[in-house]
């Protein structure tokens, strides 16, 4: 179960966000929208630390598999 | 508009198999066929899993995506290449567009899905390109244990293609697909607006067993032990969709689609040996036994062009100032491409019949062609022959895949079915639907204007009409 805490944002910003989510479908509250935006930002930062998707062993195995299937 | 939309992606299922050969023996597919709408779904060029699913899910063509197959050449290197992964997809998929609007998705196995991407409002499982279940393969990461548990302790991404032991391939194939549906059923119970699963098993069934079940395959033998494996596998999936689709609820519009079709392979055409014969490719020492091209010493000072194998051929020219040892003057490149395309159009098969070959250029085909594209794309004999990139064969014509026995090639038409509970659409046949029309159609059904996300192309109108309130 996700636990929650509060952060403070200026009231004027809150009002501007309310206007934005009124135009979007799906977001039920400013908190929903702010959580979404922050998750995107955090993911963007984490992406910078992502290693190469395949090791050299992976690559050999995947190439062999794709070759056997006729793709290469 | 539909409150919920589900897509079941069955890799490489052709209309000939599902609609013409087996539909009467498949009660659940048959119900959707009779009560929904169905038709062919024209794939993209090239008709390859990667990029076809991303064309379907982004609404962008391969040139716009910059994805031309599973493997790409890195820049203008002679030997350096890379496997296309999810990190090479820079356009937003349907579930990413939905996530931006706070709508929730479940996405299982859609390729290329590894490494798994962060999408805030989607629960995703990566695809058959995942090296092993030791890697992170779910978004969010904590779903991994849930997936493994739902799969009975072991989730299978892909089968091991062992041509010498088809009994094991069969066992693993059925086990993999059953597990995928177990996981799909588990996730179908969660809240979502968009649900999608991809099943690679059909593609593996076709590549590994086509010659056993298709009497039109040149190597078919009547009475063989795998003669009924197509019906057996399709029936298993029929049983599973009969359980899964009702779980989506009465308010869900369901699509069943494939990314391309399949057909019997006639053989492999040795594109590089042919290029050598025609004076385009030169070796320092001609190989005397079958070997991959990148293991042979090529005399680049006398090589104008070379090709890659696969279900279509990619041809690269050795251009001065572009390739490390280029010899084709850039001002001559267009003429060289035209001359080679003419020669390709005159290639004959092993019986002396002129093949129905088709050659095109990415930029002309797509309008935009970013990324590591080939200079020419070639389909041999309407794709009946695959392109064999290896060299050192006795003949230009191979009757087995040069990288191991193989039974099927890809075809341009996949399948499209749509069903909405309580709606009798009388089994109407829809013609002309194309993979790139799926993304805008799905978004429109989910209440999002496709033009608002830059998708200005056609939609599948019959689907919008069929699902209309």
Q: Which residues on chain A are in Cβ contact (under 8 Å) with B118?
A: 39, 43, 46-47
Mean pLDDT to the nearest integer, B402-417: 84
The answer on B193 and B97 residing in a single domain is yes
C-alpha B122/C-alpha B104 separation (Å) is 6
Please check whether residue B113 is in contact with residue B129, taking contact to mean a CB–CB distance below 8 angstroms.
yes
Phi/psi of residue B340, each to 5°? -65, -40
A48 — pLDDT class (breaks 50, 70, 90)? low
What is the average pLDDT value for chain B, to the nearest integer?
95
pLDDT at B343: 98
Number of CB atoms found within 10 A of residue B154's CB: 10
Question: Lowest-pLDDT range, B63-72, B137-146, B403-412?
Answer: B403-412
Other Cβ atoms closer than 10 A to B88 = 19
What domain range includes position A43?
11-68
Closest residue by Cα to residue B226 from B174, B157, B160, B156: B174
- Looking at the structure, tell me whether residues B446 and B435 fall in a common domain: yes
| Same domain? B438 vs B397 | no
Q: What is the pLDDT of residue B403?
A: 60
**pLDDT at position A72, please?**
79
Residue B74 has a CB neighbour count (10 Å cut-off) of: 10
On whether both B104 and B240 belong to a single domain, the answer is yes
> Would the pLDDT of B235 be above 60?
yes
Of B12, B48, B70, which to mutate for an interface test with A (greatest number of A Cβ within 10 Å)? Answer: B70
B160 falls in which pLDDT band (50, 70, 90)? confident
Q: Do B261 and B271 belong to one domain?
A: no
The arithmetic mean of pLDDT across residues B35-62, rounded, is: 97
Q: Do B356 and B286 sit in the same domain of this protein?
A: yes
Pick the residue from chain B with its C-alpha nearest to A32. Answer: B102
Chain A residues inside the 8 Å CB shell of B401 = 70
B103 in reach of chain A (CB within 8 A): yes
Instruction: State how beta strands B252-257 and B4-10 pair.
Output: parallel
Q: Tell me if A71 and B48 make a contact (CB, 8 A cut-off).
A: yes
Residue A3 domain flag: no
* pLDDT, position B358: 98
Rounded to 10 degrees, what is the CA torsion of B112, B113, B116, B121? 120
| Dihedral over Cα of B321, B323, B329, B330: its sign | negative
Residue B136 and residue B154 share a domain: yes
Report the number of distinct structural domains present in chain B. Answer: 2
Instruction: Name the CA radius of gyration of chain B, rounded.
Output: 23
Contact status of B161 with chain A (Cβ, < 8 Å)? yes
Mark whether B239 and B306 lie in a shared domain: no
pLDDT confidence of residue B41: 98
Contacts of B129 in chain A (CB under 8 A): 62
Smallest Cβ–Cβ distance between B131 and the set A27, A58, A71 belongs to: A58
Q: How far apart are CA B98 and CA B439, in angstroms?
A: 11
ipTM score for this prediction: 0.77
Q: Mean per-residue pLDDT for B337-363?
A: 97
Nearest to B311 among A62, A68, A71 (CB): A71
Contact status of A61 with chain B (Cβ, < 8 Å): yes
Query: What is the tally of structural domains in chain A?
Result: 1
A46 near B CB under 8 A = yes
Q: Which domain holds residue B341?
A: 267-405
| Count of Cβ atoms closer than 10 Å to residue B449 Cβ | 10
B140, burial (CB in 10 Å: exposed 0-12, middle 13-18, buried 19+): middle
Query: Does B63 lie in the same domain as B175?
Result: yes
Question: Strand pairing partners for B71?
Answer: B83
Given this model, what pLDDT does residue A56 score? Answer: 87
CB contact under 8 A, B121 and A62: no
Residue A16 located in a structural domain? yes
Same domain, B440 and B400: no
């Amino acid at each position: 179960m996700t636990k929650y805490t509060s952060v403070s944002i200026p009231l004027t910003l809150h009002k501007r966000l309310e206007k934005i989510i009124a135009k979007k479908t799906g977001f039920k509250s400013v908190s929903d929208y702010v959580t979404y935006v922050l998750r995107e930002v955090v993911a963007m930062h984490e992406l910078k630390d992502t290693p190469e998707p395949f090791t050299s062993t992976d690559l050999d195995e995947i190439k062999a598999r794709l070759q056997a299937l006729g793709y290469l | 508009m539909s409150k919920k939309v589900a897509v079941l992606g069955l890799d490489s299922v052709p209309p000939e198999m599902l609609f013409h050969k087996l539909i009467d023996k498949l009660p659940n597919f048959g119900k959707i066929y009779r009560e929904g709408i169905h038709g062919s779904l024209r794939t993209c060029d090239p008709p390859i899993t990667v990029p076809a699913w991303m064309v379907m899910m982004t609404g962008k063509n391969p040139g716009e995506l910059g994805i031309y197959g599973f493997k790409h050449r890195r820049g203008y290197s002679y030997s350096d290449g890379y496997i296309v992964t999810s990190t090479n997809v820079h356009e937003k998929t349907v579930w990413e567009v939905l996530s931006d609007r706070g709508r929730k998705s479940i996405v299982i196995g859609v390729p290329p899905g590894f490494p798994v991407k962060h999408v805030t409002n989607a629960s995703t499982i990566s695809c058959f390109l995942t090296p092993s279940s030791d890697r992170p393969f779910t978004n969010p990461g904590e779903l991994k244990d849930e997936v493994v548990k739902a799969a009975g302790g072991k989730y299978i991404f892909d089968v091991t293609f062992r041509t010498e032991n088809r009994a094991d391939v069969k066992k693993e194939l059925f086990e993999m697909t059953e597990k995928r549906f177990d996981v799909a059923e588990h996730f179908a119970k969660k809240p979502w607006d968009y649900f999608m699963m991809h099943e690679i098993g059909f593609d593996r069934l076709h590549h590994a067993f086509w010659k056993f079940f298709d009497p039109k395959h040149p190597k078919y033998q009547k009475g063989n032990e795998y003669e009924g494996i197509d019906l057996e596998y399709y029936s298993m999936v029929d049983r599973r969709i009969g359980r899964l689709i009702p779980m989506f609820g009465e308010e869900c519009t369901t699509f069943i689609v494939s990314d391309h079709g399949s057909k019997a392979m006639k053989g492999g055409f040795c594109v590089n040996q042919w290029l050598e014969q025609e004076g385009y490719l030169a070796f320092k020492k001609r190989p005397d036994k079958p070997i991959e091209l990148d293991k042979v010493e090529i005399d680049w000072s006398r090589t104008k062009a070379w090709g890659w194998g696969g279900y279509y051929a990619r041809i690269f020219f050795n251009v001065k100032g572009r390739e490390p040892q280029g010899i084709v003057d850039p001002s001559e490149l267009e003429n060289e491409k035209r001359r080679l395309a003419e020669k390709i159009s005159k290639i004959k098969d092993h019986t002396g019949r002129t093949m129905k070959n088709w050659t095109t250029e990415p930029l002309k085909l797509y309008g935009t062609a970013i990324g590591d594209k080939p200079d020419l794309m070639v389909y041999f004999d309407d794709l009946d022959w695959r392109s064999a990139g290896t060299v050192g064969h006795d003949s230009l014509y191979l009757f087995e895949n040069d990288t191991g026995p193989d039974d099927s090639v890809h075809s341009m038409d996949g399948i499209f079915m749509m069903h909405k509970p309580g709606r009798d659409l009388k089994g109407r046949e829809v013609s002309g639907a194309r993979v790139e029309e799926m993304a805008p159609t799905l978004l429109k059904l989910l209440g999002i204007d496709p033009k608002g996300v830059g998708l200005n192309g056609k939609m599948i109108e019959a689907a919008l009409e069929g699902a209309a309130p």
